[in-house]
C-alpha cells in the first residue's frame, strides 16, 4: 500500500512540475505564467477567393496577450497538398487560411478538414 502511495505521489509531482519556456522577442511575460495549449478544430469553414478560412477560438487557453501559434491541416477523408498559414491578431483566437483554388465553400466541411494547433503564451 505504501509503495502505491509513493508512486502516486511521485506521478502527481511530475504532472505539477511541467516546465514551459517560451523563446520569443515578441511574445513575452513572466515565466510562471507561461502556458502551452493544444487543440483541434473543424467545421465552420468559409471561402474567400482561392482560400478556405476558419477562425479558431483560444478562449479556453486564457492568454492575456497574443500567443505564438503553429497549426497543421489534417483530413481523414482526402489527401491534401495545399499550403496555408496562421494569422494571429488577438489573444483569444486565430485564423487559418488554406490555399485551394476552386471548390465550393462546403468542400472543407464535408471532407472533415481539421486544424490541429499548438499555442504558447502567457496568462498574466
According to the model, what pLDDT value does residue 18 have?
Answer: 67
What does the pLDDT look like over 6-58, one tens digit per residue?
Answer: 443 444 444 455 688 899 998 999 999 999 999 999 889 999 999 999 999 99
Render pLDDT for 58-75 as a digit per residue (tens, 0 to 9).
999 999 999 999 999 998
Count of residues for the chain? 124
Give the other-Cβ count within 10 Å of 24's Cβ.
Answer: 11
Does the global pTM surpass 0.75?
yes
Amino acid at each position: 500500500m505504501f509503495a502505491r502511495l509513493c508512486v502516486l505521489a511521485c506521478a502527481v509531482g511530475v504532472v505539477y512540475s511541467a516546465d514551459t519556456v517560451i523563446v520569443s522577442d515578441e511574445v513575452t511575460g513572466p515565466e510562471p505564467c507561461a502556458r502551452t495549449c493544444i487543440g483541434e478544430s473543424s467545421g465552420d469553414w468559409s471561402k474567400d477567393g482561392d482560400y478556405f478560412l476558419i477562425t479558431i477560438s483560444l478562449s479556453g487557453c486564457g492568454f492575456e496577450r497574443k500567443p505564438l501559434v503553429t497549426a497543421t491541416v489534417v483530413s481523414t477523408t482526402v489527401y491534401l497538398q495545399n499550403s496555408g498559414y496562421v494569422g494571429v491578431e488577438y489573444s483569444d483566437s486565430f485564423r487559418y487560411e488554406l490555399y485551394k483554388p476552386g471548390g465550393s465553400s462546403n468542400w472543407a466541411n464535408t471532407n472533415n478538414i481539421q486544424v490541429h494547433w499548438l499555442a504558447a503564451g502567457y496568462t498574466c
